Amino acid sequence: MNKYLYEKDLRQMKLIILESRRHDAVVLELAATLGIKRQQLRKILIERSDMMFLENLPARCDVAREAGDDTERLLGIPLLTQAFCLISKEDGVLIKEQYLRRIQDGIKHEAAVSEARMEMMELIRS
Amino acid sequence: MKKTVDISLPVGPMHPCFKEPCRIKCETRGEYVLAAEVELGYVKKGIERIMRGRPWQEVMFLAERVCGICSVIHNFVFIESVEHISGIVPTERAAYLRVIVNELDRMQSHLLANYSYCYTIEHETLAMYLLNLRETVMDQLELITGARVTCAFIVPGGVRCDISSDIADELRSALDHIDAELTRFIRIFETGPLIGLRSKGIGILTKDAAIESHAVGPTARASGIDNDQRSTHPTYTALGFSPVIRQEGDNFARIMVRFEEVFQSIRLIRSALEAMREGPIRGGGTIKAGSIRYRGEAPRGELLYELTTDDYGRILEIAIQTPSIPNIQVCAHAMLIDAQSAADITSIFISSDPCIACTER
Amino acid sequence: MSLLQHLKNSVRSRSIHVAYVNVGSCNGCDIEILACLSPRYDIEQYGIYVHNNPREADVLLITGAFSPQWEDKLKPLWDKIPHPKVAVAIGNCPISGCVFNRPETLVDPPVSKHIPIAAEIPGCPPRPTEIISTILSLAPLIFKDYEETIR
């Protein structure tokens, strides 16, 4: 017996989980915050999380929406760190501090947000 | 998941301790568990996809078959959410009958969960006692509704059939029997030294981890979280309901919360039988268009139905969030970490009362 | 009939080992199988033992419509069971798919497409007594004089 019977490709099953209505809503929400396409975020999630975690995403997001202050919620940091676990909590704090520093330096709001997004995407991809 | 060590210990999909197929992959050093991952898909049926676009008369039966163990609560929550959309109010007698059947269902589910746990830690005597006691509850369910598992008792505006005074007397004497027997079994469980070694201080779930993963039901209440949807339900508040909460957060606390909730259910049924007056059991009404998010308390925790109906009584959109989803997730990613031996993996997993059929739908 | 066959028959009639596999049911049938274990029905007094281990099973109880993950797993599981063996479908799901066999579904019933089914117990779910009586009436048909009939 040299065939692994149970080590199967699970991408199709994971995609079926993410296509459900509530999962689709939270994935769309985070994709909008990060400024990427839904399909890209789905790909990242399928690669990084196990099936149980994917099933539980909407419930985790419900909790994470109430966490954090206004700035963090604007950048979507509680969702990323607490609900999706894509970046660590320390990195979340760093991103927020850098964003606040840029606002103090007189950089426009939109530019600061888009730079924070770039940083978050870099952390996720690494 | 990133591989931290070479050894990955798989448990399942067919395992003597599990009632249902699911696979846990544990990253271990020796027997010490470093990380765990759950693989699903063995019972994925796509019920939400089937439900879409069908009339409520069909969806009612599909909702019941999301889970065979807690079928009454799925029926209960689906019908109540449809009623809230359409402004239908159940008659008073029907509201009490719903509570009685729902609590009987909770009792049998909790007894089954505790049976599974005792069986997993190899205390087969106590397990068989509990399984036999569960049959007494199943008899009462059959006597009232006419079926053991999928009984479709609750319909919009009321319930399907009434109970006579004979059945009420039978129910009262059965409750007395369960009360007396269970007190004895709990003493066995609480004072058993070997049960204590396998249960106390094992599989600890901290309050923070439980909140972060949105843990619900007895799993959360054993970690000191006051979260019970029954405390906001009008019929339950009229009966004087207060949730059971423990602080330890280990296997022992979770099982004890379930035992205490069985007593609580007995009290609720008794006071519902007292408070019930003669009257009609069915009102009328038509299903209207609208959408709602409605929560109810299943035996395993908070159950959420999110649905949209149209004027013809069809279900346009539906999403079901069952209590097992957060509970198994928090079990795999928080409770199983730091388990000291491979034998504890199954006992910790079973203590969170996993229901894979609910999880995957 | 040889003496050895006679001995085998009498031993086999009192030791039927059962494994159950859930290929996508709602749990209702599984807990009815579990209820058979309770002292009320006492499945072991008939010589039926539930082990849930395919390698020592004689009877495989199948519940549930067929979900996609089992596509490549049920057949190997069936092959692991030693002869003589028999499969019993429990509930409506393995027979027809019950309420799940609708457009948009993920399941693929009936189970008899994948492995040979000897008996079917309809019901949603069937009662524990029906499950026990089916196993008891089926076992002699399959296991009696097994060595002589295959020769």
Q: Tens of pLDDT along C107-125? A: 888 888 888 898 889 988 8
- Rounded Cα distance, A14 and A27, in Å: 13
Nearest to A59 by CA among C131, B328, C136: B328
- The verdict on residue B322 lying in a domain is yes
**Mean pLDDT, chain C, as a whole number?**
85
For residue range C68-89, list pLDDT tens digits in order: 888 888 888 888 888 888 899 9
CATH topology of domain C13-143: Rossmann fold (3.40.50)
Chain B residues whose CB is inside 8 A of the A52 CB are 37-38, 40, 325, 328-329, 332-333, 359
Does residue B3 surpass a pLDDT of 60? no
Lowest mean pLDDT among B101-105, B147-151, B175-179, B181-185: B147-151
Give the best residue of B40, B219, B352 to mutate against chain A (max A CB count within 10 A): B40
Kindly provide the residue ranges of all beta strands, DSSP E only, lying in chain C, ordered along the sequence: 16-22, 48-50, 59-63, 86-90, 119-121
CB contact C123 to B (< 8 Å): no
Q: CA nearest C13: which of C58, C47, C45, C43?
A: C47
**pLDDT at residue B4 above 60?**
no
Q: What is the pLDDT of residues C4-27, one digit of tens each?
A: 888 888 887 788 888 888 888 888
Q: How close is the nearest chain B Cα to the Cα of C10, in Å?
A: 28
Alpha helices of B299-355 — where are they, by DSSP H? 324-330, 342-351
Inspect the interface and report whether the beta carbons of C38 and B357 lie closer than 8 Å.
Answer: no
Judged by a CB distance cut-off of 8 A, whether residue C103 touches chain A is no
Residue B2 lies in a domain: no
Residue range B79-94, pLDDT digits in tens:
999 998 988 888 888 8
Q: Give the integer Cα–Cα distance in Å for B215 and C149.
A: 57
Report d(CA B50, CA C34) in Å as an integer.
Answer: 29
Contact partners, residue A125, CB within 8 Å, separation at least 6: none
Per-chain mean pLDDT for chain B: 86
Residues B65/C99, Cβ–Cβ less than 8 Å:
yes
State the pLDDT confidence band at B175, using cuts at 50, 70 and 90.
very high
pLDDT surpasses 80 at C59:
yes
What is the spatial distance between Cα B325 and Cα B26, in angstroms, rounded to a whole number? 19
Name which of B321, B330, B335, B361 to mutate to probe chain A: the one with the most chain A Cβ atoms within 10 A of its Cβ: B321
Residue B331 has pLDDT above 60, yes or no: yes
Find the residue in A nearest to C67 (Cα): A13
Helix (H, G, I), strand (E, B) or coil at B292: strand
The model's pLDDT over B246-287, given as tens digits with 9 standing for 90+, comes to 888 888 888 999 999 999 999 999 999 888 888 888 888 888
The CA distance from B70 to B137, in Å, is: 13
pLDDT tens digits, one per residue of B142-156? 889 888 888 888 988
Percent pLDDT > 90 in chain B is 9
Does the beta-carbon distance from C72 to A8 stay under 8 Å? yes
Cβ pair C88, C121 in contact under 8 A: yes
Inter-chain residue contact B213 with A22, CB threshold 8 Å: no
How many C-beta neighbours within 10 Å does residue B88 have? 19
What is the pLDDT at residue A4? Answer: 60
Contact A20 B319 (CB under 8 A): yes
What are the domain boundaries of chain A?
A: 11-125
Is B3 inside a domain boundary? no
pLDDT-based confidence at B2, cuts 50/70/90?
low
* Cα diameter, chain B: 67
CB atoms within 10 A of CB C8: 17
Partnered with residue B35 across adjacent β-strands are B27
CA-CA distance, B126 to B138, in Å (whole number)?
19
Residue that the structure tokens 């109010």 belong to: B89
Q: E strands, B86-211, where?
A: 154-155, 158-159
B41/A50 Cβ within 8 A? no
Residues placed in the known binding site of B? 48, 67, 70, 320, 355, 358
Residue B228 CA to its chain's centroid (Å): 12
**Structure confidence at residue B234 as a pLDDT band (50, 70, 90):** confident
Contact A52 B321 (CB under 8 A): no
**Partner-chain residue, chosen from A13, A50, A58, that has the shortest CB–CB distance to B321:** A58
Residue B48 to chain C, least CA–CA distance (Å): 9
Does C72 contact A at CB distance below 8 Å?
Answer: yes
pLDDT at B70: 85
Q: Residue B142: count other Cβ atoms within 10 Å of its Cβ.
A: 14
CB pairs under 8 A between A and C: 9
Q: Give the helix/strand (H/E) hosting C45.
A: none
Q: C touches which chains (3+ CB pairs under 8 A)?
A: A, B
Does pLDDT of B5 surpass 80?
no
* Domain of residue B345, CATH code: 1.10.645.10
Question: What average pLDDT does the segment C131-147 reach?
Answer: 83
Q: Is C108 on the interface with B (CB under 8 A)?
A: no
Residue B7 has pLDDT above 50, yes or no: yes
Q: Strand, helix or coil at B152?
A: coil
Q: Would B200 be classed as within a structural domain?
A: yes
Residue B95: both structure tokens together: 């509201």
Annotated binding site of B for Mg(2+), which residues?
48, 320
- Cα–Cα distance between C89 and C95 in angstroms, integer? 7
- Read off the DSSP letter of residue B116: H
Per-window interface: C 18-77 vs B, CB < 8 A: 19, 21-32, 34-35, 37-40, 51-54, 64-65, 67-70, 73, 77
Q: Tally the residues of chain C.
A: 151
Residue B1 lies in a domain: no
Name every chain B residue with its beta carbon within 8 A of the beta carbon of C39.
128, 131-132
Q: What subunits touch chain B, counting only 3 or more CB pairs under 8 A?
A: A, C
| Per-residue pLDDT at A1 | 44
Domain assignment of residue B192, given as a range:
8-360
Of B41, B48, B333, nearest to A51 by CB-CB distance is B41
* pLDDT computed for residue B177 by the predictor: 92
C-alpha span between C51 and C67 (Å, rounded): 23
Nearest to B44 among A16, A56, A59 (CB): A16
**Cis peptide preceding B299, ω within 30 of 0:** no
Contact A13 C68 (CB under 8 A): yes
Least CB-CB distance to B43: which of C24, C99, C105?
C24
Which residue ranges of B make up the annotated binding site for Ni(2+)?
67, 70, 355
Question: Which H or E element spans position B37?
Answer: strand B32-39
Going C60 to C96 to B298 to B238, the CA torsion angle's sign is negative
Q: What tens digit of pLDDT does each residue of A34-93 get? A: 888 888 888 888 888 888 888 888 888 888 888 777 777 777 777 777 778 778 888 878
